[in-house]
Structure 1
Amino acid sequence: MPYQVNPDRNIPWNGLPELPIDKTLYETVEVYAQLGNAKAALGRLQGRSIAIPNQGLLINSISLQEAKASSAIENIFTTDDELYKAFSEQRIEQLHGASKEVLKYREALWKGYDYLKRNDTFDEAYFISIYREIKELNDGIRLPSSGIYIKQGGSGSNAGKAFYTPPRGPGIVEAKLANLIEFVNDDKQFPVDPLLKMGIGHLQFEAIHPFTDGNGRAGRIFNIHYLTQKGLLDYPILFLSKYIMDHKDDYYSGLAGVTQRGDWKTWLIYILKAIEATANLTYDKINDIINAKDSILQAVVADSNIARPESLVNALFTQPYTKVKHLTTSGIYAENTARKYLDELAKMRILEKRSMEGNNYYLNLELYRILGE
């Protein structure tokens, strides 16, 4: 059965087909070859991550980079220094600008992860909670009267014109979101490979566009949560947004290819390549982080008299910037001891001491380098 495309990008696409889509739209040799590559890369990442005793080494640092990249897709930019400094303060409500936006994305990522741990299923409340955390708003599904549409980017003659107009009308968005939720939850009725289902579900969510803003970020958070919910990853550590940011034009042309031509094959190959590439990238980062941590621990043990060196080094790898209070509030050291040890590591050039706005921060140079690559 041919896929019913959007006939006029200026008119709400109330005819957006429900899921599932016809398998003939994506059951090709090319799609399944790329599916095999993506599954192999994801399996290797999962096997490596579960062998790490301290998941905090990955969770904070990699989720920060995911938040930064996903926000950059929406033209929300911050530097690594601004982001890591803001995160080290742990006072999001006092922040402003891009760093706050990025950290709100990270909070939404963890809020949704915890929500699914408690409820064990996707539902409308899950998506609304993600949206509210991202945008710091208390509303929900956009109103039928909202005249939302996706604008053409760039600076050409079509800039600012409608690129796509999502469905709207009384109960229409809610019904299409309910269909999407049933599709992703019910593997008996809809037995589609999880990675293909994630790609189909992501595009459908973006086409529904249920909120007034933040749909792109909510959809990318859903990607990660779907993988963890299906047991393909234990923690949301897949660095998917970086690939999308690096191939942004292909991302948007892939979405448009489905809405305008019904080209699911190109879209699914794109998203499967994103999974493969970012699983390999994250795998390499994990190994680099672990190797750096082990090397620094050996140096601390060999060249200093620091007490409880393993606890200290583990703490240094949970985020790029460390403050004295991080070590005192976690109960590792008293304040004077923590300051003494951090200064000693700065003299050893393991850390770099930076004074900013009257506060001292200690930058883990190796972790900073690895995350920035």
Structure 2
Amino acid sequence: MPYRVNPDRNVPWNTLPELPIDRHLYEDVEIYSQLGNAKAALGRLQGRSIVIPYQGLLINSISLQEAKASSAIENIFTTDDELYQAYSEEQIQQQTGPSKEVLYYREALWEGYSYLKEQVFDENYFVKMYRIVSQFNDGIRTLIAQIVIKEGGTGPNAGKVSYTPPRGKGVVEAKLQNLIEFLNDDKTYPIDTLLKMAIGHFQFEAIHPFRDGNGRTGRIFNIHYLTKKGLLDYPILFLSRYIMDHKEDYYAGLAGVTQRGSWKNWLLYMLKAVEETSNITFDKINDIVNAKDAILKAVIEDTDIARPESLVNAIFTQPYTRVKHLVGGNVYAENTARKYLDQLTDMGVLEKRVIGKGNYYLNLELYRILSE
């Protein structure tokens, strides 16, 4: 059967079809070919990540870049310097501006990851993610919220309504519950995990259950679905990088389903995103590991630093290291930590920056790799 599209973008799409979609919409040679490429790339990334002994290297650095890219899609921009400095302070509540919003995204990435270790996808999960990224305390939008999606940019259609999500008593809740059942029940809905992720992401964005933060919440879901289903051990896929680089195609893909039922283009887009960002993340991990090993070798051979591996692990946990990170982590006493960080600065491994009243030590190689 053909997919029932949205007949009038100015009217709430209360007839948004429930999941699953008909098999003919995804049983396609080109889709399955791209699916194979995406699964191979993701499997290679998973295989590389699980053999790294120091997971903090991935958990902080890679996920911070995902948070930055996803926030940029919503026109929340921050520089690497601002973000890394803010992250090194450890207290999000004390931050201001775009960096604070990016750090909340990263917090949601890890809070949701922990939540799903013990739970399945449910309404509470989505509300929890929304509340962290938006910093609002409400939940599913009410009838009062007359939400419409408008065209952005400066073109002739800028400001015009492009889509109106479902609205009505119990309508949003019912459609979200259908999505949740589709995600959790692999026996009733035996669809490949990556296809399910792509279908689920569209459905979530079409439901648009919250007043704000739906885009960021939906992209966080993408990563969490992969970790929950065992395709990744950690939420480290740099998926928003592809969406940011192909932003117009992303929104065109969503609109293509709502207006023309063009599921093939949407699924190919998302599968290509998984393939390319898996390769990008794989390469970044290798570059970081190689840089870490080279620096550790130099520290061992050229210095008398005690417990060199602990020190090198610490400076690769995040781009900016402060004395308090080494003291708080019980790695070194304060004077020893300062001495060793200054020593690495003299070696050209770190760059010492005085910002306000504090000293920040920038890992030059890690900064370079993450910025590429």
User: Deviations for 1:111-135, whole angstroms, at most 9, x for unmatched residues?
Assistant: 111111122x000000000000111
User: Deviations for 1:16-46, whole angstroms, at most 9, x for unmatched residues?
Assistant: 0000000101211100000000000000000
**Matched residue, 2:96:** 96
The unaligned stretches of length 5 or more in structure 1 are none
**Matched residue, 1:35:** 35
Aligned counterparts of 1:366 and 1:128: Cα–Cα separation in 2: 38
**Matched residue, 2:340:** 341
Q: How does 1:340-359 map to 2 (within 5 A)?
A: 340-359=339-358
**Matched residue, 2:62:** 62
Contact in 2 for aligned 1:113/1:225 (Cα 8 Å): yes
Letter in 2 for 1:69: A
Letter in 2 for 1:305: D
Contact in 2 for aligned 1:48/1:283 (Cα 8 Å): yes
Contact in 2 for aligned 1:132/1:139 (Cα 8 Å): yes
Aligned counterparts of 2:371 and 2:153: Cα–Cα separation in 1: 28
Contact in 2 for aligned 1:145/1:169 (Cα 8 Å): no
Q: CA offset at residue 157 of structure 1?
A: 2.6
User: Deviations for 1:174-199, whole angstroms, at most 9, x for unmatched residues?
Assistant: 00000000000000000000000000
Does 1:13 find its partner at 2:40? no
**Matched residue, 1:300:** 299
Letter in 2 for 1:198: M
What percent identity do the matched residue pairs reach?
75
Q: How does 1:173-252 map to 2 (within 5 A)?
A: 173-252=172-251
**Matched residue, 2:53:** 53
**Matched residue, 1:114:** 114
- Following superposition, which runs of at least 4 residues in structure 1 exceed 4 angstroms of deviation? none
Contact in 2 for aligned 1:135/1:214 (Cα 8 Å): yes
Letter in 2 for 1:31: I
Aligned counterparts of 1:263 and 1:145: Cα–Cα separation in 2: 31
User: Deviations for 1:81-109, whole angstroms, at most 9, x for unmatched residues?
Assistant: 00000000011101111000000000111
Aligned counterparts of 1:53 and 1:301: Cα–Cα separation in 2: 19
Q: How does 1:261-276 map to 2 (within 5 A)?
A: 261-276=260-275
Aligned counterparts of 1:290 and 1:335: Cα–Cα separation in 2: 27
SS of corresponding position for 1:20: coil
Number of positions where the alignment pairs a residue of Structure 1 with one of Structure 2: 372
Letter in 1 for 2:263: W
Q: CA offset at residue 334 of structure 1?
A: 0.1
**Matched residue, 1:81:** 81
Aligned counterparts of 1:158 and 1:36: Cα–Cα separation in 2: 38
Aligned counterparts of 2:155 and 2:320: Cα–Cα separation in 1: 42
Aligned counterparts of 2:27 and 2:264: Cα–Cα separation in 1: 8
The unaligned stretches of length 5 or more in structure 2 are none
SS of corresponding position for 2:40: helix
User: Deviations for 1:287-340, whole angstroms, at most 9, x for unmatched residues?
Assistant: 000000000000001111100000000001000000000000000000000000
Q: CA offset at residue 145 of structure 1?
A: 2.5
Q: TM-score, normalised by structure 1?
A: 0.99
Contact in 2 for aligned 1:145/1:168 (Cα 8 Å): no
**Matched residue, 2:164:** 165
Q: CA offset at residue 59 of structure 1?
A: 0.7
